[in-house]
Amino acid sequence: MPNSGRMFEIVQLLRAAHAPLTADHIAARLEVTKRTVYRDIAALQSARVPIEGAAGIGYVMRSGFDLPPLMFTPEEIEAITVGLSLIARTGDTSLREAGGTVMAKIGAIRPAHEPPIDETHLLVSPWHAIPDATVDLRVLRRAIREERKLKLSYRNGEGISTTRIVRPIAVIYYIEGVLLATFCELRQDFRHFRHDRIEACEPLDSTFKGESAPLRKSWRVSRALFDDPRFATSH
């Protein structure tokens, strides 16, 4: 994440927090080192952002500091609210945490006369929850963004485990489960892996830069997914 984007996220985390946040916590959320957090906070403080605290104690944002608000129509806020509520059913912990941050940002810009965002009239049923993932889905999504190959240990429906080297190209969220779409180097073809059957996942040093878009295009054509309303891909 570029410095400016990372510092913006630090500001948002502190604005949404109800208690001091330690550098450890911030570093874990942003996937950076504590040293990076200390440097970014020092830069923000130098820019007169009202952050108080110290290493080992935690940091807080003094009230009254704000950023230019994002402007959404009521329909747009409702669309975001429903979408973020649906994310909670995917079992993707990191997406759910990110969704909570987005909800806090939206709540901060809502007019005072409107009810809190968590008291919205739009509710999403928790039924048919997707099974819990056996690996961190954040690793899969990052590998897609970085075009990095993955080594998967996978157990199929018959309980047989295999090891595959794959090129991850998409994550598909269904009501009843999540699929990782890949180009499997063993089969030299597209293969899909259920998230709850991936027993282990290891990012490799080997990448496939520049191949993701052509692979996704071929995958969509081969699977006739252009207008299928049953799926949504994150990448």
Q: Please check whether residues 107 and 170 belong to one and the same domain.
A: no
> Which residue has better confidence, 100 or 186?
186
pLDDT category at 202 given cuts 50, 70, 90 is: very high
Q: Please check whether residues 148 and 115 belong to one and the same domain.
A: no
Quick one: which of 60, 80, 73 has its CA closest to 19?
A: 60
Q: Please check whether residues 56 and 80 belong to one and the same domain.
A: no
Res 208 pLDDT > 50 = yes
Tell me the CATH number at 20: 1.10.10.10
Q: Please check whether residues 165 and 102 belong to one and the same domain.
A: no
Q: Please check whether residues 102 and 150 belong to one and the same domain.
A: no
Per-residue pLDDT, 7: 86
Residue 55 lies in a domain: yes
Per-residue pLDDT, 199: 92
Q: Please check whether residues 214 and 143 belong to one and the same domain.
A: yes
Residue 212 lies in a domain: yes
Residue 128 lies in a domain: no
Q: What DSSP designation does 73 have?
A: -
Residue 88 lies in a domain: yes
Domains identified in the chain, total number? 3
pLDDT digits (tens, 9 = 90+) for 144-195: 999 999 999 999 888 899 999 999 999 887 766 778 999 999 999 999 998 8
Its pTM stands at: 0.53
**What is the C-alpha separation between 228 and 224, in angstroms, rounded?**
8
Proportion of the chain above pLDDT 70, given as a percent: 79
Place of tokens 């990110």: 98
- Domain limits at 150? 137-223
DSSP strand E in the chain: where?
51-54, 58-61, 148-155, 161-173, 178-184, 189-194, 198-207
Q: At what angle do helices 34-46 and 3-16 cross, to 10 degrees?
A: 80
SS (H, E, C) 97-147: HHHHHHHHHHHHHCCCCCCCHHHCCCCCCCCCCCCCCCCCHHHHHHHHHHC
Torsion of CA 85, 2, 5, 84, to 10 degrees: 0
Q: At what angle do helices 137-146 and 93-109 cross, to 10 degrees?
A: 80
pLDDT digits (tens, 9 = 90+) for 25-84: 999 988 899 999 999 999 998 888 889 988 888 999 887 666 555 566 667 777 777 787
